Structure 1
Amino acid sequence: MQQFINTNRKEIPPTFSQDAISFHRQLPNYIPTPLVDWQVYASQHHLKNLFIKDESQRLGLKSFKGLGTSYAMFRILCERNHLDPQTTSLAKLRTMDHSKVTFVCASHGNQGVAMAWATSLFGCSSYLLIPKGSSKIYQNQIKRKNVQVVITDGSYDQAIQKARAWAKDNDGILLQDIAWDGYTKIPTWIIEGYLTMAKEIQQQISTTPTHIFLQAGTGAMAGGMIDAFHHMYPKAQLIIVQPISSPCLYVSMEQTKRSSVVCQPTIMTHLNRGIPCLITWPIIQKQVNCICICEDDAAIRGMHVLKTNDIISGPSGALTMGLVDQIVKSDALRNQFQIQQDASILLINTEGDTDPFLYQSMVGEDRCLII
């Protein structure tokens, strides 16, 4: 594990709205995901609390991605139909014909599953580009009416370029949470959809957190959550964790500018991103306390630790737990991160066993890990 301490933090006003929860409450089968207060672990490791927001139980999709995708689609369809999103209900929008609307995105899996679900909710179509090497299990999960899946050669970032071109040539609507010059409105809506997690946590948590660990690829979700949490819990330490294979935020902090990296293979495919999100990078740069980069072993460790409390997590979801487990077992690391016995740590398990075969290969009954 390596860390970069941000010594140039600055106060900035909130960037994103947290109003999407009013839309999400209208979704079929919506319930807030659990916030687990793992007192046994906290007691064993001399903490006050360890809170885990479990997104593996989100809307039957096993990840948080449906929050951003569904809210962005709602906003887009309202705009196309000249409707006020503040007064338009989901029920009304679903009575309208959106069959000629096609959304397109690149995805390693979780975003694609969420988009296929959301387009079926609204009666739209989907065109999904999946980078070569992504698990075939996602192709089965994505199979729905009016969903076309294309396996592409190259990386995720290259798949995004193909998605952009396809959307332009076929009058499609690109739906990605990474932003760039000229493409910020839709990513903003997606990120605002993610912030339903922050609103739920605020309503569920029993103690103000002292440390919040957030995993990141481009930093879209992490930056949005930092924007919310910094103003909810101004004294909390905000820590981002990335795979060492794709440290775009870490490198950007070192170079004091938004920088791209060449991604290397990792089991944390949903965090394997090469360039920071344009609209959340300034938030991260000014408000994060620390960025850490970790090897794949940290994710595997986290998966095993969470399983002992019956929390199912894929590698990308478990990375923060793996790092926290390493920190709390080392006096030196506890001192570096200022984690004392009164610490209340908050994590988000961003995904469940979205790839069950990968999950079983890592933490199945025949596998063990000495922790």
Structure 2
Amino acid sequence: MDILHITRPAPLVGLEDIPLPSADAPRAQALVARCPVAAETPLHTATALATEAFVQDVWIKDERGRMGLGSFKALGAAYVIACDAQKGDISANTYVTASAGNHGMSVAAGAKAFGASSVVYIAESVPDSFAARLAEQGAKVVRAGETYEDSLDAANTAAAEHGWILLSDGSWHGYTERPHRLMEGYTVLMAEAIAQLPDTPTHIFLQAGVGGLACACATLARHAWGAAPRIVVVEPDAAPALHGSIVAGEAVESTGPVSEMGRLDCKMPSLIALKGLAQDADAFALISEAEGQAGAGVAMVAGLPSSPSGAAGVAALMALSEAQREALGVTAQSRVLCILSEGPAA
């Protein structure tokens, strides 16, 4: 595992027009609470993981059952669609997106709940089982290209050609309003965790694809606890989108093979997330495929089955070398928060 330590805020250029992330968790909580299937997800005290990691406590915010959709993504796109519905009838709307996984489920479920339509573009590498789950939620599923980036290009083109509403979980120059609101939805899970925790964590490990989850959680953590926790962002070494951009001092597209951590296999960061994490994260870690698999295995043995993507934060904690533990200040007295972001079959 490679870890890049930064002095906050990390210097970045070219993001002057990009907004900082929202910290308005109460707004998101109030709207999400009106959903019939909304319920707080649990925070587990994972004694077995703490023993394995040689720390005092490991707390796991468990998003596997979020609103029946199997991941934290239920709080994102569906929240944006609910905000749209507050303004009036959206039954004529068609929402289009690209998805490497659970984001598409949130778009499809949100559209279905409010009588709108959805179209989800997926890459050829996405399993047929996931395409079937999207279809069950009422989405029209279209395969396009070999990678997530290919499917995103196709979704962008379709939105322009058909006048559909693009609802991406990434953000870029000229496209920030909806992803900014979407990330606001993710603050719900961190607000819950802050209320559930028995003590302030010393360390928080947050997995990242485009970076929305990590950024939303880091933003609220800083509002709650200031500089106290060390925040570590975790990515696959095959997709160092945030890590590479921090090194470059500007947003850059990473290159690398397809990762088995498919939900995190995003080569370009969300610019809102990049800007937020540059000021809130203390370190950016890259884990190998083997380390990702090992993390999922450790979580499963501890009674918390997930995927390599969903348990990536746990994986990074377990993969720390002695030198990395010392550099991050991880000791036998450390209290660590991780997010289990999806179930094993999500």
Q: Same fold (TM over 0.5)?
A: yes
- Give the gaps of 5 or more residues in structure 1: 82-95, 356-371
Query: How far did residue 14 of structure 1 move?
Result: 6.9
**Does the aligned pair in 2 maintain the 1:56–1:312 contact within 8 Å?**
no
Query: How far did residue 154 of structure 1 move?
Result: 3.0
Query: What is residue 367 of structure 1 aligned with on the other side?
Result: none
Query: What is residue 337 of structure 2 aligned with on the other side?
Result: 346
Query: What is residue 122 of structure 1 aligned with on the other side?
Result: 114
What is the one-letter code of the residue matched to 1:51? W
Separation in 1, partners of 2:75, 2:196: 18
Decide whether aligned partners of structure 1 residues 7 and 145 sit closer, same or farther in structure 2, where only a CA change above 3 A counts: closer
Query: What is residue 66 of structure 2 aligned with on the other side?
Result: 58
Q: C-alpha deviations, 1:225-275, integer Å up to 9, x for none?
A: 211111212210010010010101111111111111124211011111111
SS where residue 251 of structure 1 aligns? helix
What is the one-letter code of the residue matched to 1:200? E
Q: C-alpha deviations, 1:182-231, integer Å up to 9, x for none?
A: 21110011000011011100111111000000011111221122111112
**Does the aligned pair in 1 maintain the 2:20–2:272 contact within 8 Å?**
no
Query: What is residue 242 of structure 1 aligned with on the other side?
Result: 235
Separation in 2, partners of 1:13, 1:319: 25
Separation in 1, partners of 2:213, 2:52: 30
SS where residue 140 of structure 2 aligns? strand
- Larger displacement relative to structure 2 (141-150 or 220-229): 141-150
**Does the aligned pair in 2 maintain the 1:10–1:287 contact within 8 Å?**
no
The question of 1:17 aligning with 2:24 is answered yes
Query: How far did residue 282 of structure 1 move?
Result: 1.5
Root-mean-square deviation (CA, aligned residues, Å) is 1.9
Separation in 1, partners of 2:273, 2:322: 33
Separation in 1, partners of 2:20, 2:129: 42
The within-5 A match list for 1:281-300 is: 281-300=274-293
Query: What is residue 7 of structure 1 aligned with on the other side?
Result: 7
Query: What is residue 335 of structure 1 aligned with on the other side?
Result: 326
Query: What is residue 210 of structure 1 aligned with on the other side?
Result: 202
Query: How far did residue 46 of structure 1 move?
Result: 3.5
Separation in 1, partners of 2:20, 2:300: 38
Separation in 1, partners of 2:243, 2:171: 18
What is the one-letter code of the residue matched to 2:322? D
Which of the two has higher C-alpha Rg? 1
Query: What is residue 102 of structure 2 aligned with on the other side?
Result: 110
What is the one-letter code of the residue matched to 2:59? F
Separation in 2, partners of 1:14, 1:247: 21
**Does the aligned pair in 1 maintain the 2:105–2:134 contact within 8 Å?**
yes
Decide whether aligned partners of structure 1 residues 44 and 258 sit closer, same or farther in structure 2, where only a CA change above 3 A counts: closer
Query: How far did residue 16 of structure 1 move?
Result: 3.3
- What percentage of aligned pairs have identical amino acids? 27
Query: How far did residue 146 of structure 1 move?
Result: 4.5
Q: C-alpha deviations, 1:285-314, integer Å up to 9, x for none?
A: 122100011111111111111112211211
What is the one-letter code of the residue matched to 2:188? T
Decide whether aligned partners of structure 1 residues 13 and 276 sit closer, same or farther in structure 2, where only a CA change above 3 A counts: closer
**Normalising by structure 2, what TM-score?**
0.92
What is the one-letter code of the residue matched to 1:37? T
